[in-house]
A and B are shown apart, each in its own frame.
Chain A
Amino acid sequence: MILLLEQLLNGLQFGVMLFLMAAGLTLVFGIMGLINLAHGSLYMIGAYAAAWATLQTGSFLLGLLAGLTAAAVIGMALEAAILRRLYAREHLDQVLATFGVILFCNEAVAMIFGRQPLMAGPPAWLSGSVEIVPGVPYPVYRLAIIATGLVVAAGLYLLISRTRIGMLVRAGATHRELVGALGVRIGLLYTAVFGLGALLAGLAGALTGPLLAVQVGMGERILITTFVVIVIGGLGSVRGALAGAMLVGMVDTLTRGFLPAALRAVLPASEADALGSGLSSMAVFILMAIVLLWRPRGLFPAHA
C-alpha cells in the first residue's frame, strides 16, 4: 500500500514533467501546424544552462533563471531564423529540418560543455525528504517539481482562458486564417507562443537536471514520449496534453514499478526485469496505438 502510494507520486512527478514538455509542443503544433522535433533540444539547452549556471554561481535559483532564459531566447531565435519558414510546408519537410536542428544542437552542446554529463545537485533547502504519511519519506525536490508543474498548469489555464493573448491562441488554434484577417500581427503571436513553449521546455530541463544526469541526447529520450502524450491528448489541446501527460506518466511508472516484480515470480530475475522494463516501455506505445485506433484525433481534439 505504501509502495503503491510512493509509486503514484513518482508517476505524478513524471506526468508533471511530461506536461511541461507537452504543453509547448502541442501549442506550437495546434497554432502553427509545426511538428517540432527540436523541442527536445530546448529541454536539453534549459538543463545545460541551468546546471552550468548553478555550478558557476552556486545558486540554484540563478541556475533556474539561466535555464529559462537560455531556452526561451534560443527558442525564439530558432523560430525567427529557421522554423518560421516551415509553417506552411509539409510535415515531412518540418521533420527533416528540425531533425537537422537536433543534430546541430546536440553537437554544439557537446562542443561547449564536453561529452561528460554535468552534475549539479538540488539546493540544500530542497534536499532530503519529508514524511508524507508516517513511515514514508518522499524527496522534497520531487514534491517541489510536482508543485511547480501544477502551478504552471493552473497558470496556463488562466492565461489561455482569461487573457487576450489566450483568446488569440484559442482562436489561432481553431481558425488560423481568421485571426490573421482580423489584423492581429500573427508573426509576433507565433514568436510569442513559440517562446512560451520553449520556456516551458527549458523549465522542464532545468528542473530535471538536478535529479538526473544532464547530458547530450537527453532531449530525444523525452521527445518521443512527449509526442505520445500530445497524440493521446489530441494535437493542439493543452487540456489534452495535461490528461495525456498524467496518463502516460502513471502508466509508465506503475508498469515499470510492478510488472517486473510480477514477472519475477515466473522467470529468473535478470530476464524478468529485462522483459518487464521492455514491456513497460512498450505500454505507452500500446496505449497510443489503442487511442489512435479508437479516437484517431486523441482524447480531447482541439479542432472539434
Chain B
Amino acid sequence: MRESPRQIIVLAISFALLAALPWIAGAVGRPDFVTLGSQACVMAIAAASLDLLMGRTGLPSFGHAAWLGLGAYTVGILAFHARDLGPWALQAWAVWPLAVLVPAALAAVIGALCLRTSGISFIMITLAFAQMFFFLFVALKTYGGDDGLTLRRRSTIPGIAPRDDVAFFYVCLVALVLVLLLLRRVAASRFGTVLDGIRQNERRMMAMGLAPFPYKLAAFVLSAAIAGLAGALHVNLFRFASPDVLHWTMSGELMVMVVLGGLGSLWGAVFGAAAMVVLHAVLAQWTEHWQIVLGPILVAVVLLARRGVWGALGGK
C-alpha cells in the first residue's frame, strides 16, 4: 500500500485540481464540468467499494450495481412517500444512512448465500441476484417501473441550497475523501490483513485457524454499504433513479473501472472511475461513435498494461 513518489505527486495534483474544479469550470465557461466532477466522485466511491471485494478479498462480484441501485431507490422511494412519511423523508441526515443500511442488510443475507460458491459461480450468482433486483424495480410500476423515478428535489442538507451544483459537488468530494480514509484504515487493520490473506491463499488462512466466511461476509456487507452511499449520491446528482442503475452493464462498467485503474490498489479504482467518466465525456463530445474508440482502449489496457493505469504510474 506504499505509494511511489510519482504516485504521490499525481495524487496531490489530482485532488488539488478536483478541489479547484468549480473555479476552473467557471473560468473556461463550462459549468457542466462540475456535474462531471460530481459524477466522477460518485463512481469513484462505488468503484472503491467494489475494489474492497474484487481487489482485496478476491471476490469478483458481477452484481455490484444492485447495491448502487438499492441506495438510489431508498432515497427516491422515501422522497416519493414524503407526503405520508413526514419531512424527515427528504432530509439527508435521515435518508442517506438508510440508503447505506438497506443495501447492507440485504447484502448480509444475499452475501451469505453467494459466498457458498466461488470462482465463476460466484460471478454468476452475484449477477443473478443483481438481475433479480433489476427486474423487481422494472416491475414496480408505482415507482415508475422502467420509466424511472424522478426526485423532484435533492435531499435537504442544512446550509446547502438544493439547486446549488457546486455545493453538491463538494458534498460528493467530501464523501469520497471520507470513504477513502475509511477504506485505508480498513486495509491497514487486522481485518484488512486477513482479507489479503484470503485472497492470496484461503486454505492457508484456514490452516491458521481462521474461518474465512465471516471475514468475507463482512467485506461483502461493508462493500455494499459504501456502494449504497454512492447510490444515494447518484440519485441526488441526477435527481432521477431508474433501473438502468441496476443493469448488469453498470456492474460491468464498475468492474471495468476497477481493472482499468489497477486491481487491489484503492487509488486505482478511484482513477479508473475518474478515467472512465472523463473518457466517456470527452469521447462523446468528440464523436457520436465514442464506443468505437473506448472498446479498443479497454482491450489494449488488458493486453498491454496489466496492472492498470495506477500500476503503470508506480513504475517498475
State yes or no: do A and B come from one complex. Answer: yes
Q: Please report A residues at the B interface, Cβ cutoff 8 Å.
A: 35, 37, 82, 85-86, 89, 91-93, 95-97, 99-108, 110-111, 220, 224, 227-228, 231, 235, 270-271, 274-279, 281-282, 285-286, 288-289, 292-293, 296-297
B137 to chain A, nearest CB (A): 8
Chain B 97-136 residues near chain A, CB threshold 8 A:
113, 116-117, 119-121, 123-125, 127-129, 131-132, 135-136
Give the distance in Å from the alpha carbon of A231 to the alpha carbon of B123 in the complex.
11
Q: Are A91 and B299 in contact (CB under 8 A)?
A: no
B299 touches A224 (CB 8 A): no
9 contacts between A and B (CB under 8 A): A92-B263, A93-B302, A93-B306, A95-B62, A99-B252, A100-B297, A276-B139, A277-B139, A289-B125
B301 surroundings in chain A (CB, below 8 A): 96
CB distance from B285 to the nearest CB of A (A): 16
> Is residue B186 contacting chain A, with contact meaning CB distance below 8 A?
no
Residues in A with CB closer than 8 Å to B292 are 103-104, 107-108, 111
Q: For the complex, is B145 an interface residue (Cβ under 8 Å from A)?
A: yes
Chain B residues with Cβ under 8 A from A228's Cβ? Answer: 124, 128
> Do the beta carbons of B248 and A224 come within 8 Å of each other?
yes
Query: Please, which residues of chain B bring their CB within 8 A of the CB of A100?
Result: 294-299, 302
Chain B's nearest CB lies how many Å from the CB of A179?
21
Q: Which of B60, B128, B302 contacts A97 (CB 8 A)?
A: B302
Binary contact track B222-264/A, C-beta < 8 Å → 1, others 0: 0000000000000000000000000011001001100110010
Contact of B131 among A107, A224, A292 (CB under 8 A): A224
Size of chain B's interface in residues, with CB distance under 8 A?
47
Task: A106 to B124: give the CA distance in the assembly, Å.
Answer: 24
B248–A97 touching, CB < 8 Å: no
Q: With A and B bound together, what is the CA distance between A286 and B132 in angstroms?
A: 7
How many angstroms from the CA of A166 to the CA of B230 in the assembled complex? Answer: 50
> Nearest-CB distance from B228 to chain A (Å)?
21
**With A100-B296, A285-B132 as given contacts, are A95 and B113 in contact (CB-CB < 8 Å)?**
no
Does B295 lie within 8 Å of A111, measured CB to CB? no
> In the bound complex, how far is the Cα of B2 from the Cα of A233, in angstroms?
45
Do the beta carbons of A97 and B298 come within 8 Å of each other?
Answer: yes
Seed contacts A92-B60, A103-B298, A228-B124; 5 additional CB < 8 Å A-B pairs: A91-B120, A107-B292, A278-B139, A288-B124, A289-B128
CB-based nearest B residue for A37 = B252
B298 nearest CB across to chain A (Å): 3
A271 in contact with B141 (CB, 8 Å): yes
Query: Whole-angstrom distance between the alpha carbons of A100 and B276 in the complex?
Result: 13
Asked if B138 and A103 sit within 8 Å, CB to CB, the answer is no
B113 touches A101 (CB 8 A): no
The yes or no answer to B28 lying at the interface (CB within 8 A) is: no
Cβ contact within 8 Å between B120 and A235: yes
Contacts of A35 in B (CB 8 A): 120, 123
Question: Given A93, A107, A285, which contacts B291 in the complex, CB threshold below 8 Å?
Answer: A107
In the assembled complex, the Cα of A111 lies from the Cα of B293 at a distance in Å of 13
Q: Once bound together, how far apart are the Cα atoms of A287 and B291, in whole Å?
A: 34
- What residue of chain A has the Cβ atom nearest to residue B302's Cβ? A97
Q: Which of A35, A95, A278 has the most B CB atoms < 10 Å from its CB?
A: A278
Indicate which residue in B139, B249, B256 contacts A220 across the interface (CB closer than 8 Å): B249
In the docked arrangement, what's the CA distance between A294 and B62, Å? 20
User: In this complex, which of A86, A103, A274 has the most chain B Cβ atoms within 10 angstroms of its Cβ?
Assistant: A103
Q: Is the CB of B138 within 8 A of A278?
A: yes
Specify which chain A residues have a CB less than 8 angstroms from the CB of B131 in the assembled complex: 224, 281-282, 285
Q: Give, as a whole number of angstroms, the nearest-CB distance from B197 to chain A.
A: 19
Tell yes or no: B289 within 8 A of A by CB.
yes
Nearest CB in chain B: distance from A301 CB, A: 11
Closest 5 A/B residue pairs (Cβ): A278-B139, A100-B298, A104-B295, A103-B295, A107-B292
Residue B303 at the A interface, CB < 8 A?
yes
A274 vs B141: C-alpha distance when bound (angstroms): 7
- A99 to B301 CA separation, bound complex (whole angstroms): 12
The answer to whether B54 has its CB under 8 Å from any CB of chain A is: yes
A274: chain B residues within 8 A (beta carbon) = 138-141, 145
